[in-house]
Amino acid sequence: MIRRAEPKDYKTVVPLIIQAMGELANKFSNTSNSVQTIALFEYFFKQKDNQYSFENTLVYEENGKVLGSLNAYDGAKLLKLRQNFFDYLFIHNGVENLTPEAETESGEFYLDTISVHHKAQGKGIGKQLIDAGIDWAIQLGHKKVGLLVETNNNRALKLYQDKNFEIQHTKKFFGGLYYHMVYNL
């Protein structure tokens, strides 16, 4: 079953967010210490008004266990949603001038992270989460859904193409090269 996330889901959802982000999680948290990265994302998952908030997350739950998550939001709100995160890093970690490129844009509902627990992969959970994200975008009145996928992640690329996402262009983001893909509603 897919449902809206709640703050209490932080222990199971945050590892999924970090799994989806890979090295980007440490870049965003500005540390290679995994304990600090997890703590930072747990803090923000439980808060409102940021891109990694429970407010912007759907979870796939089976038998009371969260097996997958989707984090998504209106691309026009990216800078506002990021600001709380960056302000916190400045105040608590002394990080200044953290200004990664915009990963999304106004006019699209952005699927930021999609992740399935490694023991539950291959069961169609990711596809269900993508469908739920598209439905969420429709409910909010969006006309397109966007996402980024690393250019060398052929498995994810095939999944998104099978779900009718089309490559719009390549994009540099935090030192990596990604396809910006769009699904038109």
Residues with Cβ < 8 Å from 35, sequence gap 6 or more?
none
Domains in the chain and their CATH numbers? 2-184 (3.40.630.30)
CA R_g for the chain? 15
pLDDT tens digits for range 130-174: 999 999 999 999 999 999 999 999 999 999 999 999 999 999 988
Q: What integer is the mean pLDDT of 13-17?
A: 98
Q: Is the pTM of this model over 0.85?
A: yes
pLDDT tens digits for range 61-82: 999 999 999 999 999 999 999 8
